[in-house]
Amino acid sequence: MKLFTTEDVKRDALEGQTLAVLGYGSQGRAHANNLRDSGYNVIIGARPGGPTAKAAEAAGFEVFDFAEATAKAQHISMLVPDMVQPAVFEQIKDHLQDGDTLLFAHGLNVHFGAIEPPKNIDVTMVAPKSPGDLVRRQYQEGRGVPCLRAVYQDASGEAAERALSYAHGLGGTHAGVLDTTFAEETETDLFGEQAVLCGGTAQLVMHGFDTLVEAGYQPEAAYFECLHELKLIVDLLYEGGLDKMYEFISDTAAYGDLVSGPRIIDDSVKARMKDVLTDIQDGTFAKAWMDEYAAGSNGYQAMLTKRRAHPIESTGSKLRDRMSWLAKKNKAQEAA
């Protein structure tokens, strides 16, 4: 495994180029500000008059519609949401010129064919492995978050170098840049979200909460045990893997982990994880999601509403209001 760091950036392959960041949401805001602070000429592409366009203007960026921003730049970062990217691509494709770079932070639309870039441009990916807010904060502290780099199409012969320079501009080379492919990034990212990070974890938390409440325990006690304390364990895993978790939890907790964990998450769960991965690999999930979005997202919104109505949410909201450190943070985020 080769991790590219600052020492591997031999030259600035983006020198003299104008960089257009399409979208000024979580990732777009972080990319644009980090790149500007790294000395690049950055402009923003956004829907005219929209809230993100106004936010970008307030931050001092020149803002254009997607097509004009693309025409003015040599390096274009597609950072609007996945569901919107195909429509935005239709607006910009005729403004892409020979030797331009079209960069993504996630490969879904290219990998599954919803976007088919012209052959005369570079198509690359730089995917920071963290939310945009952390990408920005780490950069401001003189550090960076790990990034993935991929080259889908190399028309210029410099696509890999350009992507590395871009990752360096984000601060990613301070933590390391790992080479991947559009297929690997897309499929592992979707699987991680669905099976472990979001889908798996949320479902496990809710089932744990329900099991305790249905057995007669207080919802508040169930919340503390099944959701609140999860952060303590995740922090240990994040900082030092399984080994650090076992070092810092009690022997009683460790023994319970070893004898009961496999009873809950057994081989049948792994088999269903493989089914989820198959749906991702063959495009079933991507098609279902794009069809759902195109139809107005009513099914998605109904599922989200039902999930938010789970009793763990009302219980947690009341308890978090009592936690001064969380209440202060949440109020600051709402104000922002």
- Residue 131 banded pLDDT, cuts 50, 70, 90: very high
Residues of the chain with pLDDT > 70, as a percent, come to: 97
Look up 106 and say whether it is catalytic: yes
DSSP three-state, residue 41: strand
Pairwise CA distance, residues 122 & 227, whole Å:
44
Helix 26-37 vs helix 51-58: crossing angle, to nearest 10:
20
DSSP three-state, residue 212: helix
DSSP three-state, residue 308: helix
DSSP three-state, residue 42: strand
Q: From the candidates 31, 75, 95, 106, which is the catalytic residue?
A: 106
Bridge-based pairing state of the strands 101-104 and 75-78: parallel
Please state the residue numbers annotated as binding site for substrate: 250
Q: Judge whether residue 330 has pLDDT over 80.
A: no
DSSP 265-286: S-HHHHHHHHHHHHHHHTTHHH
Q: Judge whether residue 6 has pLDDT over 60.
A: yes
Q: Looking at residue 334, what is its pLDDT?
A: 55
Q: Judge whether residue 331 has pLDDT over 70.
A: no
Contacts of 223 (CB under 8 A, 6+ apart): 209, 312, 315, 316, 319
Q: Are 105 and 127 in contact (CB under 8 A)?
A: yes
H-type alpha helices, 131-198: 132-140, 159-170, 182-191
Q: Where are the beta strands (DSSP E) in 46-204?
A: 63-64, 75-78, 101-104, 122-128, 147-153, 177-179
- Residue 313 banded pLDDT, cuts 50, 70, 90: very high
Give the pLDDT mean for 304-332. Answer: 86
Q: Are 24 and 53 in contact (CB under 8 A)?
A: yes
Pairwise CA distance, residues 89 & 93, whole Å:
6
Q: Judge whether residue 36 has pLDDT over 80.
A: yes
Pairwise CA distance, residues 306 & 190, whole Å:
22
- Residue 325 banded pLDDT, cuts 50, 70, 90: confident
Q: Looking at residue 112, what is its pLDDT?
A: 97
Q: Looking at residue 267, what is its pLDDT?
A: 95
Chain mean pLDDT for the chain: 95
Q: Judge whether residue 268 has pLDDT over 80.
A: yes
Residue 279 corresponds to which tokens in the numbers above? 């749906």
Q: Are 169 and 14 in contact (CB under 8 A)?
A: yes
Q: Judge whether residue 186 has pLDDT over 90.
A: yes
Domain assignments of the chain as residue spans, ordered by start: 3-180, 197-265+297-335
Q: Looking at residue 333, what is its pLDDT?
A: 61
Residues of the chain with pLDDT > 90, as a percent, come to: 94
Please state the residue numbers annotated as binding site: 24-27, 47, 52, 132, 189, 193, 225, 229, 250
Q: Are 42 and 35 in contact (CB under 8 A)?
A: yes
Pairwise CA distance, residues 101 & 209, whole Å:
48
CATH superfamily placement of domain 3-180: NAD(P)-binding Rossmann-like Domain (3.40.50.720)
User: Which residues on adjacent β-strands are paired with residue 123?
Assistant: 102, 153
Please state the residue numbers annotated as binding site for Mg(2+): 189, 193, 225, 229
How do residues 41-76 score in pLDDT, each as one tens digit? 999 999 999 999 999 999 999 999 999 999 999 999
